[in-house]
Amino acid sequence: MEIQKFSMQFLKQEKHLLLPNISSIILVQNLYDILFQYAISEEKEQKLKNFINIMETHIKSKSRAPFSLPVTELEFLEEGLEELKLLNWMEIPVAKFELQVSKGGGDPEEELLTVLDYLDSIITYKREKDSHYIYIYPNSLTVY
């Protein structure tokens, strides 16, 4: 299929915490056990469960992109953020872009997926679920 003309609009740069280069679900359970002590309210416990579920889903997807989340989304962990850093999570700059695909004549979602397949071959990125937003990682990271 032909790649539809597209553009990428830079939105912002965010600080993310990046999961160390390991892919075991065992890590996720260990991490939950370590971080659970920081979930001192029902709301924080639910946020921790959501964080663990997102990480498990990412690991199971076998994505080329690393797993990371904006630091702002993890602030509920408070001192737990320091625990993550002690476990070799890195704070990295990640650029957020919005993809804009020109209207071809086909299915817009299929055209977007074709653009994303093309981007897979040239950059390391992660798509924000069900959106036109992507996070582009620094090229100094090891490709996963």
Report the candidate in 112, 88, 85 with the shortest Cα–Cα distance to residue 100: 112
DSSP per-residue string spanning the chain: -PPPPEEEEEEEEEEEEE--S---HHHHHHHHHHHGGG--SHHHHHHHHHHHHHHHHHHHHT-SSPPEEEHHHHGGGTTHHHHHHHTT-EEEEEEEEEEEEPP-SS-HHHHHHHHHHHHHTT--EEEPTTSSEEEE--TTSPP-
Distance CA 45, CA 37 (A): 9
Residues facing residue 12 across a β-bridge: 96
Which of 24-28, 73-77, 81-85 shows the lowest mean pLDDT across its residues?
24-28
* pLDDT computed for residue 64 by the predictor: 80
80-112 tens-digit pLDDT: 888 888 888 889 999 999 999 988 777 888 899
pLDDT grade for 126, boundaries at 50, 70 and 90: very high
**So what's the pLDDT on residue 24?**
55
> What's the whole-number mean pLDDT along residues 15-38?
71
pLDDT for residue 26: 58
Q: In this predicted structure, what is the pLDDT of residue 144? A: 47
Mean pLDDT of 9-28: 79
